[in-house]
Chain A
Amino acid sequence: MASSTATPSPPARARGAAVSALRSVATLWRVLRANPLTLVGFVLVVLIGLGALVMVVAPHLLTSYDPRQLTGDYSTAPSWRHPLGTDTAGYDIAAETLYALPLDLAIAFAIAGGAMLGGGALGLVAGYWDRPGSVGGALSVVILRITDIFLAFPSLILALAIAVSLGRGVWQLIVAILVTWWPYYTRLVRGETLAVKHLPYVTAARAAGVTEGRIVLRHVLRNVLEPVVVYFTLDIGTVLVTLSTIGFVGLGPGYPQTAEWGAMISFYQIGGLITAYPWTVFGPGMAIFVTVLAFSLLGDGLRDVLDPRSRRVLAGTGTAGATTAAPPAPQAPPPAEGVGPEPGAPHPAPGGIG
């Protein structure tokens, strides 16, 4: 038994890594297959991600037009040449919608990611060091009151006001929304931290001599992470809607120089195109709808996948038959039971405990 700790040879290790990777994919597939809606969300997110990547690296694989190219076809209905039609200026709407994809995604991730990191860090601090009368407690109060102030404003109005004062542009848009977006993460992380920090395993870690900083960054953060990642995924959709709204009212990156879905819809609508040529809004509108839907579905499913307690159930590898000679999968061993019977010990081990 003791010899099994010997270092495996490098080829065995490489093979082990490959097998391990395959197993993870297999587990993921089982989880997704058991949850069709999550599967839809996952596939859509993967497609959207791949599409964005292709549009950055080799856009001509997906569309043969440049978004700023005047095709000479004015206000044509969807056809093989122009899958989503053209607008009054002669731009190909499919090309514009696709070119806007990486930009919209990048902005949404930048805003949600920045809010998660910044707001989350503040929430962790405010939640963990919240004892009244201490330095941390004072800091916590300051953080929470500032959070309250930001939450007291309607976030869209505040973002619009900031966007107006900063002017048009990608970075201005990111800053404008980010400023209004972080307090939700602060609230969420603080609440989770407050719940986690009083659990016995935090005290147990403290009793084992783990320092406070490490308890926060390892023990607390890891257990707070799960709802935050789920919220983040769902949030991508919300951010996308918000940034499209700001683009719609004309405060996003300037259209038509830079294509952005919200600005596109606004442009077609204000020009009266929506009544004469209803297909013009279909492209960017569907793009927003599908992207938001994809991240919402994935976020819901992610909650189950991230929790180690529900993962196995979802994957369908039940723990029944734990004592049979052949376990269902070596990678997912059943609850190991059994107690080492000492020779002559008064309590011979039963098959399992608990």
Chain B
Amino acid sequence: MTGPVVSIEGLSIDYVVGAGRFRAVSDVSLTIEQGQVVGIVGETGCGKSTLAQAIPRLLPEPPATIGGGSIEFQGVDLVQVPKWKMPLIRGTGISMIFQEPLNSLNPAFRIYDQIAEAVRIRRARESGDRVADDRAPPPFDYARGPAPEAGDALLRPLVPAGAAAAVHRRRIGRDERLHADVLEYLRLVRINDPETILGLYPHELSGGMRQRVMIAMALSERPALLIADEPTSALDVTIQAQVLTLMKELIEEVRTSILFISHDLGVIAETADVLGVMYAGKLVEFGPVGEVFEHPRHPYTKALLRAAPTRYKADGPLTSIAGSVPNLARPPTGCRFHPRCPLAQPVCSAEPAPPLRAAAGRADHRSACHFADDVGRIP
């Protein structure tokens, strides 16, 4: 298609706390192409979520301030857009899935109302720039997933037909077209018996179901960019697997651009096309997932990969990275990783790390290390 969906140039984000000021994200540049899934990994506190929330300008400003750089989205620099105009970009332009599915749905509204609000927002905007025509195909036609087949009698609708069904429909609103649209998105996220779910409050759903509803909400706005900020970390492991399977299937169906934030390398390996590794607010490596996994070109990436538990090395202690993420109020001199780096040389503490540089022969695989070529020799 035509150019990247988002291109971030030299973005820095500072937090001003009291008299102190520290840089949570410093000088990050990355692009997300049309239909691409970009994964960002890193330890807790390395600026992943700050970056994710900075793109749709959701960070509370203050204490956060944008220290520099640009976020180009569909030809507009979001850093320059006044805050009151941002709601026009959020939702239909950039939508988000959060890590707390338990609290991300408003407890006072039924599921129908929450999704209907998102659908209404999209409809209002679609009718703004083109003639409202119900028969015109939508820009992305991914809501047409097949309805799940209820093979099991236990999974059949709990709401009976007849008068009780009429009551149920009354409870959840009158607009039949809106109703159909909302149902379609609930089916898209593989919720069985969506008719029943519509009338429930969030507290009546389990965490996994709530996260599905969140995903349905985000997708119902047909965003150009979907940001998933650790969508599975708050869920327990079996539900994580289900939601991840769903995400993977949806990525296939939806083909929208996705920025997928996670601290789980396995999740990224399964979902992303491109991987970015962040450390202490800096993007230290960026490249195709397979390439980064096979031939990491930054010692931190290598350490992360070694620390990931796999079933092939089930015996023996788990590997960890020595030391901890530096305090960003007083970052180390030079390369921020050098106190924990096995390759550290005097130059690493004296000079700042180089900007992202491409590997020889691989223009799309870049890393910020003085000794990128030596990373392969770390045991």
Binding site for B on A (CB under 8 A): 1-2, 4-5, 7-8, 12-13, 15-17, 19-20, 23, 131-133, 199-201, 203-212, 219, 222-223, 308-309, 319, 323, 325, 327, 330-331, 333-342, 345-347, 349-354
Binding site for A on B (CB under 8 A): 56, 58, 60, 62, 84, 87-96, 98, 100, 103-109, 117-118, 121, 125, 147-148, 150, 153-155, 157-161, 163-171, 176, 179-180, 183, 187, 190-193, 195-197, 199-201, 203-209, 214, 217-218, 221, 236, 238-239, 241-242, 245, 249
Question: In the assembled complex, which residues on chain B have CB atoms less than 8 Å from the CB atom of A133?
Answer: 62
Given that A209-B90, A339-B190, A339-B242 are contacting pairs, would A223 and B209 also be in contact in the complex, using a CB cutoff of 8 Å? Answer: no
B230 to chain A, nearest CB (A): 13
Contact among B84, B169, B203, B206 with A337 in the assembled complex (CB-CB below 8 Å): B206
Contact among A199, A203, A333, A345 with B196 in the assembled complex (CB-CB below 8 Å): A333
| Nearest 9 CB-CB pairings of A with B | A209-B91, A354-B206, A16-B166, A340-B148, A340-B190, A207-B96, A200-B103, A209-B90, A204-B104
Question: In the assembled complex, which residues on chain B have CB atoms less than 8 Å from the CB atom of A2?
Answer: 147, 183
Contact among A16, A208, A333 with B90 in the assembled complex (CB-CB below 8 Å): A208
Question: In the assembled complex, which residues on chain A have CB atoms less than 8 Å from the CB atom of B199?
Answer: 333
Given that A1-B157, A223-B107, A333-B158 are contacting pairs, would A206 and B200 also be in contact in the complex, using a CB cutoff of 8 Å? Answer: no
Residues B176 and A5 in contact, CB atoms below 8 Å apart: yes
B159 nearest CB neighbor, chain A only: A330
Given that A20-B167, A334-B158, A345-B245 are contacting pairs, would A212 and B239 also be in contact in the complex, using a CB cutoff of 8 Å? Answer: no
10 contacts between A and B (CB under 8 A): A1-B147, A1-B150, A8-B166, A16-B163, A19-B164, A131-B60, A207-B58, A207-B95, A309-B203, A333-B196
A20 nearest CB neighbor, chain B only: B167
> In whole angstroms, what is the CA distance A208 to B84 when docked?
14
> In whole angstroms, what is the CA distance A37 to B207 when docked?
36
Given that A20-B167, A200-B100, A223-B106 are contacting pairs, would A4 and B195 also be in contact in the complex, using a CB cutoff of 8 Å? Answer: yes
Residues B106 and A205 in contact, CB atoms below 8 Å apart: yes
Residues A336 and B167 in contact, CB atoms below 8 Å apart: no
Given that A201-B105, A342-B249 are contacting pairs, would A308 and B207 also be in contact in the complex, using a CB cutoff of 8 Å? Answer: no
- Once A and B bind, how many residue pairs between them come within 8 Å at the CB atom? 195
Given that A204-B98, A333-B196, A336-B200 are contacting pairs, would A19 and B58 also be in contact in the complex, using a CB cutoff of 8 Å? Answer: no
Question: In the assembled complex, which residues on chain A have CB atoms less than 8 Å from the CB atom of B196?
Answer: 333, 336
Question: In the assembled complex, which residues on chain B have CB atoms less than 8 Å from the CB atom of A5?
Answer: 176, 179-180, 183
Residues B245 and A346 in contact, CB atoms below 8 Å apart: yes
A131 to chain B, nearest CB (A): 7
Residues A338 and B163 in contact, CB atoms below 8 Å apart: no
Residues B87 and A206 in contact, CB atoms below 8 Å apart: yes
Contact among A1, A346, A353 with B239 in the assembled complex (CB-CB below 8 Å): A353
Residues A19 and B91 in contact, CB atoms below 8 Å apart: no
> In whole angstroms, what is the CA distance A198 to B204 when docked?
22
> In whole angstroms, what is the CA distance A333 to B167 when docked?
13
B205 nearest CB neighbor, chain A only: A335
B183 nearest CB neighbor, chain A only: A5
> In whole angstroms, what is the CA distance A137 to B160 when docked?
52
Residues B192 and A208 in contact, CB atoms below 8 Å apart: no
Residues B160 and A209 in contact, CB atoms below 8 Å apart: no
Instruction: Identify which of B87, B93, B159, B245 gathers the most chain A CB atoms within 10 Å of its CB.
Output: B87
A48 to chain B, nearest CB (A): 30
> In whole angstroms, what is the CA distance A23 to B171 when docked?
12
> In whole angstroms, what is the CA distance A222 to B114 when docked?
13
B161 to chain A, nearest CB (A): 8
A15 to chain B, nearest CB (A): 5
Question: In the assembled complex, which residues on chain A have CB atoms less than 8 Å from the CB atom of B105?
Answer: 201, 204
Question: In the assembled complex, which residues on chain A have CB atoms less than 8 Å from the CB atom of B84?
Answer: 212
Given that A1-B150, A339-B190, A340-B190 are contacting pairs, would A209 and B88 also be in contact in the complex, using a CB cutoff of 8 Å? Answer: yes
